Chains A and B, each alone.
Chain A
Amino acid sequence: MNARRKWVATVLLLSVILITGCAKSPESTVRSFYRAVEKGELTEARSYVSSQILQMLGEAKISVALSGETEKIGKCGGIKDIDVKLEGKGQVRSGIAVVTFAGQCPPSTEKVKMIKEDGKWKLTAEK
């Protein structure tokens, strides 16, 4: 293998590693969703919700719902930790997220369901 071929192979390998490495895992998507809601960054939070839910309710209603969650998290002193455990294969993952708060509120355990849309993991509603 000459130097040029080695160079191309290395670049290709690095590209694959970077692309797969940069794609958010379903677990990190759930964590990012909670963190965005906590900070009140509703546009970002909405971006983690599946298009079916967005289309069904509309962005305005979803923003109202999420801002209510921001308020609840704020009353609990903010999020201390988010532990996500998901199972499944293919385009669907489901499991639980345990959120512990910095304040006095007890930890919250929620079921979560994720689907893959256009290569990205999104939160959706369970059937």
Chain B
Amino acid sequence: MASGNLQPKNKIIYFITLFLILGTFVSCEREANAPSGEFKVFNIPENLSNGDLVFRKGTDLISRCVLSQGESPRFSHVGVIVLSGSGVFVVHSLPGGTKSVNGVQMEPLSSFISSENASEVAFYRAVGVNKRSRADIRKYLLKQIGKPFDEKFQLSDDSRMYCSELVVKAFRNAGMNIFEKLPTIKVMLVDEPVLPPGYLCRSYHLRVIN
């Protein structure tokens, strides 16, 4: 044993050090295996890139008991992945709330998909998206940051953006009209047809990223 030739005082220090190192490993192991309770951790694909889409479902009453019904995914929000030197971000548009900023914003992916914000998450990639279109999508999205949320849900107006509108226009700007034939819904008090976020992932031009 390596401690065989050590002086008694050094032996004590050696065992204390060994104990502390082992203790650290054991406590890390415990933490990793700790029951997560109601917190859900979502897997993030390793190969995410600019222009990939991230959908989420909220954690509220209606998301749980209404949007969760049936087999098809029903997401309540969508954003677009933007890579930055400091990590992976999501550019998305939110209506202002008690805790959220109004309008187009850039948020770390880890926060976007945190268990506080999401009960379900899925990542999608457009078929045929290339380096050039990814760059165009990224550039367009960064230019939109700060625009207010479009509470009138008007696709015809670029001064305000709702979440699906931001995605559709970012891809359209990159020459990819991949959401044009999707169904829309008519919402009371809204003049134009609305494209809900959950409908975007029905596009035949999108593939799930695992």
**Which residues of A are at the interface with B, using a C-beta cutoff of 8 A?**
49-53, 55-57, 61-62, 64-66, 68-69, 87-88, 91-92, 94-95, 97, 110-113, 117-118, 123-127
Contact = CB atoms under 8 A, between A and B. Distances in A.
A111 B59 contact: yes
Contacts, number: 94
A115 to B, nearest CB: 8
Given A53-B62, A69-B65, A112-B61, A127 B163 contact: yes
16 contacts: A53-B66, A55-B185, A55-B187, A56-B196, A64-B69, A65-B69, A66-B65, A68-B69, A88-B98, A91-B151, A94-B99, A110-B61, A111-B60, A112-B61, A117-B188, A118-B188
Nearest to B151: A91
B132 interface: no
B58 A126 contact: yes
Contact of A126 (B59, B69, B186, B199): B59
Interface stretch (B13-21, B28-36, B70-78): B70-78
Given A52-B194, A87-B98, A117-B189, A111 B66 contact: no
B108 interface: no
B97 interface: yes
A68 B65 contact: yes
Given A110-B60, A118-B188, A127 B66 contact: no
Contacts of A51: 187-189
Given A52-B194, A56-B196, A125 B76 contact: yes
B187 A127 contact: no
Interface in B1-38: none
A71 B194 CA distance: 33
B98 A110 contact: no
A124 B194 CA distance: 15
Most buried by A among B59, B98, B189: B98
